[in-house]
A and B are shown apart, each in its own frame.
Chain A
Amino acid sequence: MAKKKIPIKEKVRKGNEEYAKENCRILAGKDILCINLMSSPGAGKTTLIEVTREFFGDDYRIAVIEGDLAGNIDEKRLMKSGIPVVQINTVSMCHLNAYMVNEVLEDLPLDDADFIFIENIGNLVCPAGVPLGEDVRVVILAITEGDDKPAKYPVIFHDADAVVINKIDFLRFMDVDVASIEEQIKAINPDASIFKVSAINGDGIGEWADWLAMKKKEKA
């Protein structure tokens, strides 16, 4: 038996990149801004989607792809508000990938939507390196998670176009240094837009919604 060395020189996850490009292609020309929404579990992704929709009113239409390991709690919740939504269950997988998104993307009313939110699996680690074909990447961080998360999870914050610091209404109950959170983000990603919001009482939602509208205009 002879030994032989063979070159491969191939990027791992090339398959995902190809599906991400395909998703981009499907959305190109539809005048839709696609947002990959990432956070740890319970940071307020679904609530932010609901309140953003409320803020937009009749100005913009949104549709949602929901990612969860199990069940369709969020799908049912968003359907109640009349938001077109499809649910993906990853069973054991810790992030969505572009193939999963590709399989459901055209189930959404793409000709009647201005924004598509892809609510990723709640996780600050795994979704970071997996593009889905989105136009912008947004990380939500609730102040109830503490003020050290950007330093501890740098990859996901480095790649974000915007960071939404949520549950700002809890500041009166907590000893959290919001300025430090912002400094940690800026240290690795000085161009990220940062919004301080309360998805529950609506504080800061206007600035966040204006940013989305601006990004949509930039894409068009």
Chain B
Amino acid sequence: MHEVTVTQDILEKALDAAKVNNAKAITKIRIKVGDFTGFDPGCISFYFELMAKDTIAEGAVLEFEKIPLSLNCSACDLTFTPEDFPLSFACPACGNTRNRLVSGKELSVEDMEIDV
């Protein structure tokens, strides 16, 4: 459900960039989405199809680059992706739990392909 506003934002960014570049059609949009954002690419694609109808982005393919959750241990400097479930941010090498989130919270429109 919360993908609605995010999808709206993606569509607006794409249409704005299309206008600046005098695009006739948007054919592909590449999006980075982190695993720890709670956003589901399938859901974004579903809403996009509905929202893009009757715009020049209608039929555009959304290509997602999924970014894994990764953490950097503040004690031993190991960078690791924690086990999926149950999620624990403890370092698998030394057990330290105070670790910095390195990736997994991304959500950005990277680039797109247009017909001009």
Query: B112 at interface (Cβ–Cβ under 8 A)?
Result: yes
Q: Which residues of B contact A186 (CB under 8 A)?
A: 97
CB–CB B110/A9 < 8 A: yes
CB–CB A184/B38 < 8 A: no
Give a binary string over A1-21; 1 marks a CB under 8 Å from any B CB, 0 the rest. 111111111111111000000
Complex: A189 Cα to B82 Cα, angstroms:
13
Q: What bracket does the count of chain B residues touching chain A fall in? A: 35 or more
A129's partner among B4, B37, B111, B116 (CB-CB below 8 A) is: B37
Give a binary string over B22-57; 1 marks a CB under 8 Å from any A CB, 0 the rest. 011001000100001111000000000000000000
Q: What number of A-B contacts does a CB cutoff of 8 Å give?
A: 102
CB–CB A6/B13 < 8 A: no
Please tell me the number of chain A residues within 8 Å of chain B, measured between CB atoms: 35
CB–CB A12/B10 < 8 A: yes
Give a binary string over A160-194; 1 marks a CB under 8 Å from any B CB, 0 the rest. 00000000000000000000000010111111000
CB–CB A12/B9 < 8 A: yes
Across chains A and B, which 3 residue pairs bring their CB atoms closest together, nearest first?
Answer: A126-B2, A187-B88, A151-B86
| 17 A–B contacts, CB within 8 A, in A order | A2-B115, A3-B116, A4-B21, A5-B112, A8-B109, A13-B107, A94-B2, A125-B38, A130-B2, A151-B87, A155-B36, A155-B37, A187-B89, A187-B90, A189-B89, A190-B97, A191-B98
